[in-house]
Structure 1
Amino acid sequence: MDVWLVIALILTLMVIILLIKGLMIVQQSEAVVIERLGSYHLTLQPGINWIIPFVDQPRSIKMRRYQVINNEQVAVVVEETRIDRRETVLDFPGQAVITGDNVSVTVNGALYFQVIDPERAVYQAENLVQAIEILAKTSLRSEVGKMELDKLFESRQEINDKLQIVMDEAGNKWGVKVTRVEIQDITIPREVEDAMRKQMAAERERRALVLQASGEREAAIARAQGEKESNILVAEGEKTAAILRAEGEREAINQILAAGQNQIDAQLVIGYLLGLEYLKTLPEIAKEGDRVFLPFESSSILGAVGSLQQLMNPANKA
């Protein structure tokens, strides 16, 4: 009886040990790949799971992590049985890249990925993080090598989008979803930076000169347009004044002819009017100096004035 009791206790103890050994609690956002006798069996989900001890074994996955040792970022490869399914950031160190115009730059990037299929992540890549990092670096060199330095700074988003497409295609095979890729920093050589600074200063100076020249050209056009409009207005005024003067002189001639009852020669009337205009200008001429020299033709004009007055006196009396 005692022997059977001992055997029962031993069997009970073994069952309890097997239950404890086979009990596996998986945390939220984690997954565990289980192999049975060396082949894939199942993937444990978050919660309480039970496996057969010594028959079912969790398969480890190699992950490359970066640790800061002595102020330096050092890559360390670790083996883990629990696969983290949260979004993970991979901040790989700066890489030397040659641009399309043969300028060596250092590009530092960050990559965000998430394990969506733990089975593929374990069996399709020997070192998942290392595979993702190498592919990201290779794709980055390829995309940057197609661009010139000037375009590189303004095309970060374009590079990020292209890298994400390439990484996402490869990630599907590895059971990884690449959510986004970001270029953090682009470092260029000092001499290239100085040359770019001088080029930018020259470009700003050129734009200032272009703006100044454009302003001067517009001002000159505006002045010319104003002078043109002013000349047009002056010419129109002179034209109107000449027309008015001609009309006034014609009316004066008509009045004189009417006063003379059409017995006065029209040429004589015109000479009379010219003589009056001439007499009006004499005071202005006298202002020029003490002595005034009159042309010879002035006597004939003044004679016409006198003769017309003599003709007009009888007409007025009549």
Structure 2
Amino acid sequence: MSDSISIGLLVSLIIVAIGVMIVVKGLMIVRQSEAVVVERLGSFNRVLESGINIIIPFIEKPRSITMIRYEKRGDAYAAITSEETRIDRRETVMDFPGQPVVTTDNVTVRINGALYYTIVVPERAVYEVENMSQAVEVLAKTTLRSVVGKMELDRLFESRAEVNNQIQAAMEEPASKWGIKITRVEVQDIEMPEEVESAMRLQMAAERKRRATVTEAEGEKSAAIAKAQGQRESAILNAEGDKESAILRAQGENESISLVLSALGDDDEHKRTVVGYLLGQSYIKGLPDMAKNGERVFVPYESSALLGSMGMFREMAGTPEDAARATSALRQGMVGGAGGASGD
């Protein structure tokens, strides 16, 4: 009786132990932003989301996925491969090492890029591709070579954003078949051969020198234009001043003559004599300038008439004292007329 009780107790303990082991082994806690692909007897069964989940031990088993990550050691990158049963659904970055790429102008450059992706359908990432990380890496490299191979070197430096967008657009369709969403692609570093880099430095220096020369020439041109405009405006102002001065001088002389003629009254003969005298005086005043500006001075044939007019003016005045007074009156009349003209 006691033996049968002992055997029954032992069996019960064994069953309880097996039950506890099953519960412990079958209990799985999935953290936030993680997912677990579960197979039942080798076939896909379900995807475990975050929280407490129970699987049947020995019948259901989590399916692992291969992940490749790169770790920089010195100047080189080392690939680290791991098998993980918990699939991270957060955005993942893949910083793959530099790749040699040939541009359309036959320049070989080495481009180091970074790829950001997210696993949105875990079962596809497990079953649709053999090695998801490696597939994404190879796809990124081939797409990078295809896109950059259609560009020239100068455009590559100027259009990094365009290169990133083209690579991302080209990778979206094949990556979606694997349950992966490409969120962003970044071209980080572009390394060129030393001789190409030296040539680009020389080109940049020549371009800067050209810009400096153009800027200096434009400055000199602006200065010359400003100087010419200033000289032109100064000449215009001087000409206008000379014109106004000549007009005022002529007005003063006309007023002087008018005053003299009005003082003579209605005697036409005396008026003609005075006018001849004034014309002769103006001619005589101009002789020094004519002699200064030319080698010869021509005295007109009518000079005798001019002298006769001046003699007639003296006779008309009468005595020498009267002639002096007439001349003084004539000069005062001319001065007064010029003053009145300038006062206007």
1:123 paired to 2:134: no
| Deviation of the 1:122 alpha carbon | 0.8
| Deviation of the 1:279 alpha carbon | 6.2
Give the AA of the match of 2:48. Answer: L
Question: Which of 230, 245, 250 does residue 234 from structure 2 map onto?
Answer: 230
Q: Which residue of 2 aligns with 1:134?
A: 138
- Judge conservation of contact 1:276–1:305 (CA < 8 Å) in 2: no
SS at match of 1:66: strand
Q: Which residue of 1 aligns with 2:332?
A: none
Report % sequence identity.
Answer: 55
Structure 2: runs of 5 or more not aligned: 327-344
Q: Which residue of 2 aligns with 1:179?
A: 183
User: How high is the TM-score relative to the length of structure 1?
Assistant: 0.86
- Judge conservation of contact 1:136–1:167 (CA < 8 Å) in 2: yes
In structure 2, C-alpha distance between the alignment counterparts of 1:84 and 1:158, rounded to whole Å = 30
Give the AA of the match of 1:308. Answer: F
Instruction: Name whichever of 8-17 and 260-269 sits farther off.
Output: 260-269
User: CA, structure 1 residues 7+162, in 2 after alignment: closer, same or farther (shift >3 Å)?
Assistant: same
User: CA, structure 1 residues 180+309, in 2 after alignment: closer, same or farther (shift >3 Å)?
Assistant: farther
Superposed CA deviations along residues 80-129 of structure 1, whole A, max 9, x for unmatched, are 21112222211110111112222111111111122222111111221111
User: CA, structure 1 residues 253+97, in 2 after alignment: closer, same or farther (shift >3 Å)?
Assistant: same
- Judge conservation of contact 2:264–2:271 (CA < 8 Å) in 1: no
Superposed CA deviations along residues 245-295 of structure 1, whole A, max 9, x for unmatched, are 22222222222222222424655434422444466679x88xx9xxxx987
Q: Which residue of 2 aligns with 1:240?
A: 244
User: CA, structure 1 residues 23+79, in 2 after alignment: closer, same or farther (shift >3 Å)?
Assistant: same
User: CA, structure 1 residues 179+276, in 2 after alignment: closer, same or farther (shift >3 Å)?
Assistant: same
Give the AA of the match of 1:107. Answer: I
In structure 2, C-alpha distance between the alignment counterparts of 1:236 and 1:102, rounded to whole Å = 70
1:74-93 to 2 correspondences below 5 Å:
74-93=78-97
Give the AA of the match of 1:34. Answer: V
User: CA, structure 1 residues 309+178, in 2 after alignment: closer, same or farther (shift >3 Å)?
Assistant: farther
User: CA, structure 1 residues 278+71, in 2 after alignment: closer, same or farther (shift >3 Å)?
Assistant: closer
Structure 1: runs of 5 or more not aligned: none
Question: Which of 269, 272, 277 does residue 272 from structure 1 map onto?
Answer: 277
Superposed CA deviations along residues 211-264 of structure 1, whole A, max 9, x for unmatched, are 111112222222222222222222222222222222222222222222222424
- Judge conservation of contact 1:89–1:113 (CA < 8 Å) in 2: yes
1:311 paired to 2:316: yes
> Which is greater in Rg?
2
Question: Which of 18, 21, 26 does residue 25 from structure 2 map onto?
Answer: 21
Give the AA of the match of 1:197. Answer: R
User: CA, structure 1 residues 198+307, in 2 after alignment: closer, same or farther (shift >3 Å)?
Assistant: farther
Root-mean-square deviation (CA, aligned residues, Å) is 2.9
Question: Which of 61, 64, 68 does residue 68 from structure 2 map onto?
Answer: 64
- Judge conservation of contact 2:264–2:270 (CA < 8 Å) in 1: no
User: CA, structure 1 residues 142+256, in 2 after alignment: closer, same or farther (shift >3 Å)?
Assistant: same
Corresponding pairs, count? 310
1:1-318 to 2 correspondences below 5 Å:
1-2=4-5, 3-68=7-72, 72-263=76-267, 264=269, 268-277=273-282, 296=299, 300=304, 304-312=309-317
User: CA, structure 1 residues 302+228, in 2 after alignment: closer, same or farther (shift >3 Å)?
Assistant: farther
- Judge conservation of contact 1:260–1:312 (CA < 8 Å) in 2: no
In structure 2, C-alpha distance between the alignment counterparts of 1:227 and 1:312, rounded to whole Å = 53
SS at match of 1:101: coil
- Judge conservation of contact 2:118–2:180 (CA < 8 Å) in 1: yes
Instruction: Name whichever of 198-207 and 269-278 sits farther off.
Output: 269-278
User: CA, structure 1 residues 5+58, in 2 after alignment: closer, same or farther (shift >3 Å)?
Assistant: same
SS at match of 1:126: coil
User: CA, structure 1 residues 167+47, in 2 after alignment: closer, same or farther (shift >3 Å)?
Assistant: same
| Deviation of the 1:303 alpha carbon | 5.3
User: How high is the TM-score relative to the length of structure 2?
Assistant: 0.80
| Deviation of the 1:165 alpha carbon | 2.5
- Judge conservation of contact 1:63–1:128 (CA < 8 Å) in 2: yes
SS at match of 2:14: helix
